[in-house]
Structure 1
Amino acid sequence: MGAAPRIAVDAMGGDTGPAVMIAGAARAQRRRSDLRFILFGDEDMILAELDKQSELAEASEVVHCDDVIAAEEKPTQALRRAKTTSMGRMIAAVKSGEANAAVSAGNTGAMMAMSKLALRTMPGIDRPALAALLPTLGANDMVMLDLGANTECDAQNLVQFAVMGAAYARVVLDLDRPRVQLLNIGTEELKGTDELKEAAAVLRAADYLGMRFEGFIEGDKISRGDVDVVVTDGFSGNIALKSLEGTARFVVDLLRRAFTSSIRSKLGFLISRPATELLRHHLDPNNHNGAVFLGLNGLVVKSHGSASEKGIENAIGVAARMVREDITRKITEDLDNIAAHRAQVAAQ
């Protein structure tokens, strides 16, 4: 990879299209002036936004695309139009090496299907996983995967997810040996499915990897800050993620209702406003925007469709950091270590 990360951006993705995507890219470029961009989408619309962002315009190339993937479009339909759409051509730029990473706020299912077909999985990885950073009560955020890419997983998939999640945590959280746990219905070793028990046995023996496996974790402990990487299948992970997001909205809405219920409550709100602003900032999804498709032969980052300029900036920042830290190499090294260990055990 070159010293200056080159990021391919689907400018048409998301709820608001080029306006927010270009403004977010401009924020990211102001933070790191070495970033370079390839912007895919309607050329006239993109250039109109670039007229407002002179520094970004100098660091960007625009590739006109006539077609856009709709938010409600099925992945099978999207795949047939990959070569003409802004999302498909963005992913193709990563495959060809023209770009080091891709960022889109568009259709998640279509993006995953296109990415898997175009980039394929890394050697040693059976299935890619969707990973994201989530807030906690601890000193740092945590990584959780899989969040919906794979509804059913065997033990080997879970072990691979743990390897990828730990590598990601080392990059984005600056941790030498992140704490890794498997999501389960209890913390006792006898609880859970056979797949969970088998994966746990492999990870307990893998003390040579860049992680600390600490067994199982229950859903109510996820956000306490006692774990750095939570590993699960995509079915359970997606439910857990939506539950966490729903609970956050519930707390915020409950506080808003409580603080507007009477004059005394409104006075209480004024007094406690610094604390409520801190809570709002901590729960703002834009501060943790940028889910990553790990395990592909190329770096792809998915933004929330409703992300703000700040959210897009953060998603691009995640992509650029993975390029600089060469996360693919880190994952490959850990997978090689597992394979070497298994071969050594088999030879004994």
Structure 2
Amino acid sequence: MDKSNLREVIMNYPNQLEIGRNFAKKVKPKTPKKIDNLIVCGMGGSALPGDLLREYLEFQPTKKTAFPVIVEKGYHLPAVAGKKSLIFISSYSGNTEETVSCLKEAINKKYSIVVFCAGGKIEEIAKKNHLPIVKYSINFPHFQPRYALTYAFAAMHQVLTNIGLSDRIPGFPKIDPRSMEVYGEELSLLTKGRTPIIYATERYKFIAQNWKIKINENSKTPAFWNYFPELNHNEMVGFSLAQGKFTVFFLKDEKTEKVDEINNKRLDITKKLYEQKGIKTAIVPIKGKTFLEKILNTLVLGDWLSYYLALQYDQDPTPVEMVENFKKKLAHK
């Protein structure tokens, strides 16, 4: 069923960080000496690098990164955008209409802009307006934006490094996707015929969100995510009367910093409460030596889960036909 060989993409994409860094090595935009915020505009898979960048800078802070990162997933810049904002425009295809709209708005307001794309309308507009461009060049047939995550994250971070707004990542972790493949397939069997739900602590909420997205797009089935402590104030009550079959995956870092210990305690208690309600659960360990390594290892595990779940459902994991059909209908006049 894997007609586009997504397995090969999963085997390779986690270790493409250096390539992404090289895409951006010469890009050095003019920005205010001190920025108020970084706004990353993108949709779907092209928003994921912004989400990862935000989490990385939040949990690996330096004096240089004392600014908020906002990921805008819509047609307009957020209200906090201003002359001291740095705008990253992210669209792998270069044709995402929401992101094109944000780009035009940022140009009209004469904000500092960097464009990240592989071509399309966004590249054309950027060239016309003499904007700095980080252009992706990924020669793989049927490549999907959701797997440009590592390239784009590294490229975005490199731009910040180029202009002194972040420190260089000291060393990219070496990820071994093959070593996680069997475990990922085993996890997929736990949720076959059930709706998967992914929970993580606040530190790792990006991973939970990403698992949900990959299950949606690769496995073609619903999935949901949330994070501690927020879910203890609302969502868990809904499982008093669960209206279906669920598997809840708890992503847990046993070696987390003290600040996250209370959330791990919340996780353990919630798991027991769910099991008392007859809900299927599984702890998924988060492993790695660094924050970035932990994120990438667990992302790949979610890729394997979604990949093998797709095969169990007789689905080709690469295409997203419903999205493409929707775009055609939206463009139809």
Fold match, TM over 0.5? Answer: no
Rg: which structure is higher?
A: 1
Normalising by structure 2, we get a TM-score of 0.28
TM-score where L is the length of structure 1? 0.27
